[in-house]
Amino acid sequence: MTEQPITVIATIRVRPDHEKVAIAAIHDCVKASRLEKTNISYQCHRDISDREVLVFVERWTSPEALAEHETTPHFQAMAEVFKTALAEPLHVRITREI
């Protein structure tokens, strides 16, 4: 039996004074992540009622694919920006379709 893909839902709150640098890092990561062979989809959305909240919705072929993604230069660059750009800790859920 083939393992089902996973969906990652990650929520961040960006500090208003770091928004431009965070959005630039996110755009770079999204663009490069979509080119990874194990990526099914990768999107980042802004909450319409709270501009500081951004939600990533990602689909990967497996948990191993996600772990590999987290070692890529584009992900690491975004994570480095997040060290100072986030107003609160990142919240991540890893799910599978039921």
The predicted-structure confidence for 7-62, as pLDDT tens digits, reads as follows 999 999 999 999 999 999 999 999 999 999 999 999 999 999 999 999 999 999 99
Amino acid sitting at position 37:
K
Number of domains within the chain: 1
pLDDT at residue 1 in the model: 53
State the residue range of the domain holding 11: 6-95
pLDDT at residue 3 in the model: 81
pLDDT at residue 58 in the model: 98
CA distance linking residue 74 with residue 27, whole number of Å = 10
CA distance linking residue 11 with residue 82, whole number of Å = 12
CATH of the domain at 34: 3.30.70.100
24 lies in some domain: yes
Cα-trace Rg, the chain: 13
1 lies in some domain: no
- Closest C-alpha to 53, from 94, 9, 95: 9
pLDDT at residue 93 in the model: 98
| 44, 30 Cβ separation under 8 angstroms | yes
